[in-house]
Amino acid sequence: MDVYTIAVIPGDGIGREVVPAAVEVLKVLAEVHGGFHFKFQEFPWSCDYYAEHGEMMPADGLDILKGFDAIFLGAVGNPGLVPDHISLWGLLLKIRREFEQVINVRPAKALKGVASPLTDPQGFDLVVVRENSEGEYSEIGGRLHRGDDEMAIQAAVFTRKGTERVMRYAFELARTRRKHVTSATKSNGIYHTMPFWDEVFKDVQRDYRDVRVDSYHIDALAAQFVARPYVFDVVVASNLFGDILTDISGAVMGSIGIAPAANINVNGRYPSMFEPVHGSAPDIAGRGIANPIGQIWTGALMLEHFGHRDAAQELLQVMEDVTAEGIKTPDIGGHSGTRDVSDEICRRLRRR
């Protein structure tokens, strides 16, 4: 019996609603599936925690997390309480960085029972592989002067190592799928880093001649996600571009509330973190209507990561059955609450 220790961080806003719901589902799945078992331990690290302690997590927070097999996180951010760049760099982005979760994997596909806002999504099925450790997200930069002459500067840093790594990950993944990798670039406007990105892409593709490649500037690619999402298989993107593309692909699925994600540590030194694409959604928090599907699907990615493909498949199947039958939250046109959805998934898992 495989036992996995999972650090659970609901975080802020709807994270506190969807995480408990998804944990419940995972517990039931383990129970009925057998073969593996979870030990969940919850941590209250969040903006509220910051309000009380002046930091997003305790000084030894990372040490504590390090001992777990994975981290299951909801969402971070409550700009009314803590400025976003403080809360995010103090928790979510800190974990991604310190635990070398250098790859962010974000699948998106047409789901039964979830209407896409597109008239013709044609059963699209893609994965964005996002660089998760460098690029446009950096703490390098600062401000100069005051008053009218004030300016802010921010450096984007792209290393060959980090860039190659995410591209190779994308190519390997493509080999298990439809063997097509699309690169998101902006080498026409972003003068230094993006031509570099293109060069590395050209280098890496030489090792994967069996994989079809193409490349779009991010503006055109974002438009294509709307116009023809079904032409993409694996899309490899920088930190920022991957962030933007996966909110779009979430919207194209029907709701950002259903989009799953995995922050993968590839060197085995630290736990990976599983956290959906959506944010803390302060506007709907506390009303029990947040969509738990993104968090539950993210749980399935965690199972896959542990090698339990069957259980992951089973969970996705039941999840889709439930939405297909109309038991779903308002963001995807239903009338159910967060717990109605997760309870129904549990009930069906038990019945199988």
Ligand X SMILES: CC(C)[C@H](C(=O)O)[C@@H](O)C(=O)O
Single out the catalytic residue among 12, 243, 340, 343. Answer: 243
Binding residue (CB under 6 A) for ligand X from 7, 25, 65, 88 = 88
108 interacts with its own copies by CB under 8 A: no
Alpha carbon distance 69, 75 (integer Å): 19
Residue 141 three-state SS: strand
The residue (of 1 and 151) whose beta carbon lies closer to its own copies is 151
Spatial CA neighbour of 229 closest among 210, 249, 213, 247: 249
The residue (of 93 and 105) whose beta carbon lies closer to its own copies is 93
> Which phi and psi (to 5°) does residue 34 adopt?
75, 170
328 is catalytic: no
Work out how close the CB of 40 gets to its own copies at its nearest, in angstroms, rounded to a whole number: 27
321 is catalytic: no
Asked if 4 contacts 69 with a C-beta cutoff of 8 angstroms, the reply is yes
Alpha carbon distance 268, 265 (integer Å): 6
188 interacts with ligand X by CB under 6 A: yes
Residues 213-242 that bind its own copies (CB under 8 A): 217-220, 222-224, 226-227, 239-240
219 is catalytic: yes
The answer for residues whose C-beta is within 8 angstroms of residue 73's C-beta and 6 or more apart is 8, 9, 10, 11, 15, 19, 92, 95, 273, 274, 275
> Which phi and psi (to 5°) does residue 103 adopt?
-125, 135
* Residue 239 burial by Cβ neighbours in a 10 Å radius (0-12, 13-18, 19+): buried
Count of positions on this chain that bind ligand X (CB under 6 A): 10
Q: Which partner from the list its own copies, ligand X, none does 224 bind, CB cut-off 5 to 8 Å by kind?
A: its own copies
Alpha carbon distance 191, 276 (integer Å): 32
247 is catalytic: yes
Asked if 290 contacts 307 with a C-beta cutoff of 8 angstroms, the reply is no
Alpha carbon distance 83, 77 (integer Å): 8
Per-residue binding string, ligand X, 105-144, x by CB under 6 A, is: ----------------------------------------
Residues 269-298 that bind its own copies (CB under 8 A): 279
179 is catalytic: no
277 interacts with ligand X by CB under 6 A: yes
Of the CA atoms within 13 Å of residue 265, those in its CB half-sphere come to 20
Single out the catalytic residue among 186, 216, 331, 340. Answer: 186
Catalytic residues: 137, 186, 219, 243, 247
Q: Which residues contact its own copies by CB under 8 A?
A: 77, 83-85, 87-89, 93, 115-120, 136-139, 141-143, 147-161, 186-197, 217-220, 222-224, 226-227, 239-240, 243-244, 246-248, 250-252, 255-256, 279
Q: Which residues contact ligand X by CB under 6 A?
A: 77, 88, 92-93, 188-189, 219, 243, 277, 279
